[in-house]
Structure 1
């Protein structure tokens, strides 16, 4: 109907075709319908519908794109001041073009039209108007981030005087029809089962209930569920929900009842089989409740998964438990430097023959820090002398000293010295500097300052 105003007697010609589109009219393509279709097809390619391009008049492009093809119409205004088509273009999408986003598809339709009608549009008498139903194309000249493909396209467009104009899709019937040609559309996907019914095995992959999916119960467990087993003490004898099935099993709401002797094998088939991948408690429960049942099944599943050695050793802990933070004990004597933390900052730039700083921080009361210069080769005796000179002379002996396991703080000399003086030594855990976090944090600030 997009070009009906250019075809004389359009209603009379298309009447047989419109009759087929009515409700409750059986579909029957006869001689009248074929004649009407051929006549309309011939009219669309002849005057006054299809015009010969006039290089002295401005051109216009009507473009559109779908998921299978692009369409375009080259048009010029006639004497009746209406847009008449000069040429049609329809081209299917190839390869990776089918994965383009909608913006790139719409712009691809423009690029294809410019390349096809380049000899008309490269130097027109007036800028070519590009009618599109994608409004974002109006802003293609504004600053934005371009992909490499878009950069190539925009570089090509610069050679054409264009003016984009947004037009609603309902008014773009002609390019829309060209972009949706049936011979350009991909075929409908074929829906088929992976295995033919003849290849399905009883108890292996054969569904016993027609409305269910693949039956996941192993053949061994299925056979044991059909055989007579010792009486189940957890199962009530007068349970009306459990009924016998023609295949020899007992069912509860179309789920196979598993007797006690086959439950371990059933759990193994749903958890340890290579195709299951050792599911967790919830995933395994969702799978089993579709096919099998016995009293207290969830408890069995929970205990089995929790006791699986493979899961415990190989699975990643997605919810690690963080141990609580335990602060250092507060000293009994509420005076400065009664509990201190010490550490060494080594390999600093040499200054006055010193390349190391001994950091001493009041752990419990004032948070005051002392920075004592020394050398990297200082030993336990040297640390004791520095401590005597700078700490003991001002604050006396501390109750406890927190440090890492450096040789200066963990040597036999230091341990004997602390023991004879009644000082408690608190060494940090190996590879766990958070134990002496106060000194480590002060060290960071000092290194940043230096």
Structure 2
């Protein structure tokens, strides 16, 4: 091992400098396999690839494929795959240069989906693929490649669960498709369905100043020897970690703990979000006894936190909630944040548009003096072009929203206007609440930069 052979799960990779050396290494490996009574399947073996894998990897890293524009007159090809935690798929077409990608998607499994049997997970990967690309795939023949062989018989399978019946009903009603088996190592969607926790490599280090504070703190903290005696610590590069965890144990050294608290609450990008989020941020990487109490005391004494926060206490009376929409971007709310310091581009206001179903928001830069026509253009460009025309639009009684032009425009679009009562922002409390968060972040950022 590691001399001429690398083993990964049940794969054996034999590497060498030339063919003569390669043959010798093959002979040695086969001799050991024969002695231990292990057998290699010839159909799954490849010999003397001559750096083909390395060259392909270098080419893939230096020349990423460009997505092509779809041709609505050609048939489509989908490669779908599922793992224990996620689904993935690639939409492709052959426009004369072989199969080329048009789009890809991946989705993390949630809730009951994680407990689906592998057959249903692979089927779900196909169903999930057809939903966002439905506008392209309807009316065209689509070939679906999967590495789960039994899915070839999904349409003719005699015994189906209710879930599978629903899926097949959806597919058969809207699409013309064929399911074809393709081995996993040839399936391009295999990488997209990999573990959801895999991310880009991050190299984290500790500055000499910070490490010096830790070293001094460990030396003077009387609790460290007691923690070691109770086997609560494990050491790595002179830094103590909580036993069985990747969290750094912070010694009882006030300058160090104060520095960490400021880093997670006071700095510009921290946002002064309060004790809960500050605690969550610190607890991901650090630990010390009574951490939650220290965070609460720090936030309570933070001047910016106390001055910039707005009261969230509900006023007395019975508030009636707005009806819950049935789908995203069916009901949206509009509001303005005005009177802001001008940016370098001259904007001094924000048009806030919130979807009442998904809570997704758009924060569009604009001007306090923007006319109704300009606001309508922003609404069409950023909202209607991406999410379609809403059925109901909730707003306050800003002159822009009560103008004749705005009312006629919404009437032509078929959108119902729902305006709040005068001097009663609680009618659209969700938007007002998000406005408070934005204003709070802007105040904290401007306070930190002065």
TM normalised by structure 1 equals 0.31
Structure ID, larger Rg: 1
Bigger helix share: 2
